[in-house]
Amino acid sequence: MTRRALVLNGPNLGRLGSREPDVYGATSYAGLVETCRTVGRELGLDVEVRETNDEGEMIRWLHEAADASVPVVVNPGAFTHYSYALRDAAAQRTAPLIEVHISNPYAREEFRHTSVVAAVASGTVAGFGIGSYRLALRALAEELDA
């Protein structure tokens, strides 16, 4: 049985491959999408990957996931550090929600050390490059199987 899952990406993640490759790696956004879909298939997940620079759109997607009990992997990008609206939308989850980050926020600027989303997520995976998404999808599948 294939289960639906969303991978939601916040601001600037559509610029992967060209945005600060020393921090975010050389994989393009298209490469990230393909990685997530491939790993999803291996795990029995029908993964839909989305990206937005708009906070309101991200919140609507989290509402959509909560209303349909769809599990989520979310990289809130900069929204991680200050968006209480995004945090409140994530808190309404009705299925596992894994926060993911390509870089390790705790090894970067101090403002990145705070996540307002982490406290309402099932868990957080960070610091493993694009591999963070592979790990997060595996964690999501394990949460669904538990």
Please, is 109 exposed, middle or buried when counting C-beta atoms within 10 Å of its C-beta (0-12, 13-18, 19+)? exposed
**54 among the known binding-site residues?**
no
- In terms of Cα–Cα distance, which of 21, 137, 11 is closest to 73? 137
**37 among the known binding-site residues?**
no
Single-letter code of the amino acid located at 122: S
Of 101, 106, 113, 133, the catalytic one is 101
**15 among the known binding-site residues?**
no
**102 among the known binding-site residues?**
yes
**103 among the known binding-site residues?**
yes
Q: Is 101 a catalytic residue?
A: yes
**81 among the known binding-site residues?**
yes
Q: Distance between CA atoms of 53 and 40, rounded to whole angstroms?
A: 24
Full DSSP string of 13-62: GGGTTTS-HHHH-S--HHHHHHHHHHHHHHTTEEEEEEE-S-HHHHHHHH
Q: Is 106 a catalytic residue?
A: no
Q: Please enumerate, by residue number, every residue annotated as part of a binding site for substrate.
A: 75, 81, 88, 102-103, 112
Catalytic site positions: 24, 101
